[in-house]
Amino acid sequence: MEPVFASSLSGCTVMTTDGVKIGTIENVTMNVKTGKLEYLRVEPNGQTTGGFNRIEDGMLLVPANRVEAK
């Protein structure tokens, strides 16, 4: 697998396993000690959250371990 820069993820579409678009990646959170991604901060494109929690500013926090790239 080729390395991917976190900056290249911004703006990518996030969908549920059923193919429902829930938003676009606005930012990522990484553990600086381990280098592992922790969360994707997603700007929702509607009321559908895909079961993920909204934070105070209306964004969705999606745990990185719940994400699969295709």
**Beta-carbon-side half-sphere exposure of residue 49 (alpha carbons within 13 Å):** 11
**Beta-carbon-side half-sphere exposure of residue 65 (alpha carbons within 13 Å):** 2
- Whether the predicted model's global pTM rises above the 0.75 cut: yes
Tell me the per-residue pLDDT of 30-69, one tens digit each, with 9 for 90 and over: 999 998 889 999 999 988 788 888 999 999 999 999 888 7
13 CB burial (10 A radius; 0-12, 13-18, 19+)? exposed
Percent helix, strand, coil in the chain (nearest 5)?
A: 10, 35, 55
